[in-house]
Amino acid sequence: MLRTHTCGQINLDDVGKKVMLAGWVSSIRDHGNIIFFDLRDRYGITQIVCNLPELTPELLELVNKVRQEFVIQISGSVVARSPETVNPKISTGSIEVILEDAKILNTSDALPFEIQEGENIGENIRLKYRYLDLRRDSIKENIIFRSDFTLKMREFFSSENFVEIETPILTKSTPEGARDFLVPSRLNPGSFYALPQSPQLFKQMLMISGFDRYYQIARCFRDEDLRSDRQPEFTQVDIEMSFIEEQDIMDISERLIKYSVEKTSNIKVDVPFPRLTYKKAIEKYGTDKPDIRFGMEIIELSESMANSGSSIIESVLQEGGRVKGLLIENGESISIKDVDNFNEFVKQKGGKGIGWIRFRENEIASPIKKSLKEQTIKNLRESLKITPGSLLFFLGGETSWVCNILGEMRTEIAKKLNLVKEEIFKFLWVVDFPLFEINPDEDRIQCVHHPFTSPQYDDIDTLDKDPLKIKSRAYDLVLNGIEIGGGSIRIHQRKLQEKIFSILGMKPEEYNEKFGFLLDALGYGAPPHGGLAFGLDRMVMILRNEESIRETIPFPKTQKGVCLLSGAPSPVDRKQISDLHIKVDFQTKQ
RNA sequence: GGGGCCGUAGUUCAGCGGAUUAGAAUGCCGGACUGUCGAUCCGGAGGUCGCGGGUUCGAACCCCGUCGGCCCCGCCA
């Protein structure tokens, strides 16, 4: 070993010991006859003291050569610091090591940015030199947290009798869903593997095999555009169980999260998590992933605004639409400009604009003040228990359109008014999703989750009578307004699965070609089963209070899907292409 | 595919109603200093102002294009 201790380990108990340390020089404070080095490794920082007059000429020369981020090995004696020189900021701050010998294990070029936390460094430069960025505290702590967190999850799974099983990375492309990453097959000209969007079908196979409790911390791949919470490759904590119902999956998920979160942080997780139906979520929050850290729910105003005197409102109601609104209690901090922006937003979404009323002590302000009836104002004040300074937005139109817009406004206003002040963590199950929805672009029916999700309906023969009315046995887990997990009870009967495929518009030849292996497998005694998957990167992001998933991934990609460290993706040799029996159809730009 | 913000020293940023020697802080290099821990003090080096084109007597600054990073919409069963 090149060291007897780590740089975060030595304390007052070690005073008097001879120690050997190795690490990176993170700070050099040169006082002429005395030099202090901060020696850093993964575990912490230890101050090394060089009393130059006491050093041999060789050692003196070496010490003078040392620069930031050199890798050095030192040996010396641990001494207690005098009280006035104790540094309470570091764990080893009450001791220091008096240098007796040293060796430069490696030098370092001048750095592209400072390792010490301080100014925010541009992300492009951080990603290019990610190995240096990862020496910095905040990102390093995130990566270590991620490891601790998954370890606790594994502990939990193990204690609950789960089996961890790996599934293929080179697998079969399946239609629908996200765009696949494809891998050409050299041995099978013209055929392609796809990287898995999730291990969905394999974990169902494992249930059929009898591994009734499976989990995997699985890498998944989706070739879609990136966002601050989306990367083309990401990690799911994937779970599947047999002989269970929704309640069992939710229960084990809650216990898993409680265990792993509470063992790795100071965050308290209250279980069970509240549940909200999809319908209620849309009605109250305008989204299927509501942030319930604050109220300001969407309110129904159709009745109270019915005879308000506003012609727009009345025509909306006559056409069968609804009027809904948001009541902002300290609405004075929403400026005219903000209101204009919301108005513009609504127009972009195809509306006529947003209505609003500011309630003051004895008067109101509103663009439709003149036409608004006294009685309407009075009713609103009473029924909504309005306090002076409140701002009421209202919007009329088709219900889901109205809810959707108000939902987005709700999030925006909460951000503006800083309604979420403290760090809190509100988990929420959203249940009773519809099984199908209409894809408006292609005017066809598609699954809200995936086609293996079981309906809340067991009459196979009448399933296609009114498929849009049927609910699914799916559930999503939402944390602070971000979807962090989702799952369902699956279809375990061949006939039902075939029926679903046919409702989706697939002919038997088509579903047999694409999903024949699943249908065959369901035919050999598939047990009732279900599961869910968590987005690990997103969970870590939220728990660490980060704005981007990239702060939880050691080597993430940029918005254009490029790895700035390695340069991937990159052109390849002609030979490599021809071996794969493919041609590149791309005009290189001149 | 679309909208927005950004790109100036190694880094973070200022300068941008056109003409300046393109600045600051920090880092880097050299020197001084025996108790610092964001050390301090003195000195120094360091810039194709992302790239290309245009307007102009003159462009970091105005215009067009392009590349790159970020945020968002679409997309993400």
Which pLDDT value is given to residue A124? 94
Which pLDDT value is given to residue A590? 30
Position A418 pLDDT exceeds 90? no
- Is the separation of the CB atoms in A147 and A544 below 8 Å? no
Closest nucleotide C1' to the C-alpha of A230: B76
Residues with Cβ within 8 Å of A26's Cβ and at least 6 positions away in sequence, in order, are A38, A39, A40, A45, A68, A69, A115, A116
Cis peptide before A527 (omega within 30 of 0): no
Which pLDDT value is given to residue A216? 98
**Quick one: pLDDT band at residue A14, thresholds 50, 70, 90?**
very high
- Is the separation of the CB atoms in A452 and A200 below 8 Å? yes
Position A128 pLDDT exceeds 90? yes
Distance (Å, whole) CA A128 – CA A312 = 55
Percentage of residues of chain A with pLDDT beyond 70? 99
Position A421 pLDDT exceeds 80? no
pLDDT tens figures, A273-283: 999 999 999 99
- Give A535's Cβ-side CA count (13 Å radius): 26
Position A81 pLDDT exceeds 90? yes
Distance (Å, whole) CA A475 – CA A28 = 55
Distance (Å, whole) CA A219 – CA A260 = 20
- Is the separation of the CB atoms in A262 and A255 below 8 Å? no
Which pLDDT value is given to residue A361? 86
pTM: 0.94
Closest nucleotide C1' to the C-alpha of A175: B77
Position A441 pLDDT exceeds 80? no
Instruction: Kindly determine whether the C-beta of residue A224 is less than 7 Å away from any atom of nucleic acid strand B.
Output: yes
Residues with Cβ within 8 Å of A41's Cβ and at least 6 positions away in sequence, in order, are A6, A7, A8, A21, A22, A23, A24
Instruction: Kindly determine whether the C-beta of residue A29 is less than 7 Å away from any atom of nucleic acid strand B.
Output: yes
Cis peptide before A528 (omega within 30 of 0): no
What is the spatial distance, in angstroms and rounded to an integer, between the CA atom of A341 and the C1' atom of B4? 14
pLDDT tens figures, A136-162: 999 999 999 999 999 999 999 999 999
Q: Across residues A372-380, what is the average pLDDT?
A: 87
Which nucleotides of strand B are protein-proximal, with an atom < 7 A from a CB?
1, 10-13, 26-29, 32-40, 68-77
Position A587 pLDDT exceeds 80? no
Percentage of residues of chain A with pLDDT beyond 90? 79
If one compares A332 and A427, the residue with the highest pLDDT of the two is: A427
Mean pLDDT of chain A: 93
A483 assigned binding-site residue: yes
Distance (Å, whole) CA A217 – CA A198 = 11
Lowest mean pLDDT among A10-19, A228-237, A461-470, A517-526: A461-470
Q: Are strands A322-328 and A390-397 parallel, antiparallel or unpaired?
A: antiparallel
Instruction: Kindly determine whether the C-beta of residue A225 is less than 7 Å away from any atom of nucleic acid strand B.
Output: yes
Which pLDDT value is given to residue A558? 97
**Quick one: pLDDT band at residue A589, thresholds 50, 70, 90?**
very low
pLDDT tens figures, A574-584: 999 999 999 98
Position A292 pLDDT exceeds 90? yes
C-alpha distances (whole Å) from A231 to each of A219, A497, A537, A559, A562 are 11, 31, 9, 8, 11
Residues 446-485 of chain A: which lie with beta carbon within 7 Å of strand B?
Answer: 446-451
Position A438 pLDDT exceeds 70? yes
Q: Across residues A398-417, what is the average pLDDT?
A: 91
pLDDT tens figures, A166-204: 999 999 988 778 999 999 999 999 999 999 999 999 999
- DSSP at A563: -
Position A235 pLDDT exceeds 70? yes
Which pLDDT value is given to residue A559? 96
Which pLDDT value is given to residue A257? 98
- Is the separation of the CB atoms in A216 and A196 below 8 Å? no
Distance (Å, whole) CA A434 – CA A419 = 31
Domains of chain A in start order, with CATH, are 12-106 (2.40.50.140), 140-276+428-551 (3.30.930.10), 294-420 (3.30.1360.30)
Q: Across residues A423-445, what is the average pLDDT?
A: 90
pLDDT tens figures, A522-543: 999 999 999 999 999 999 999 9
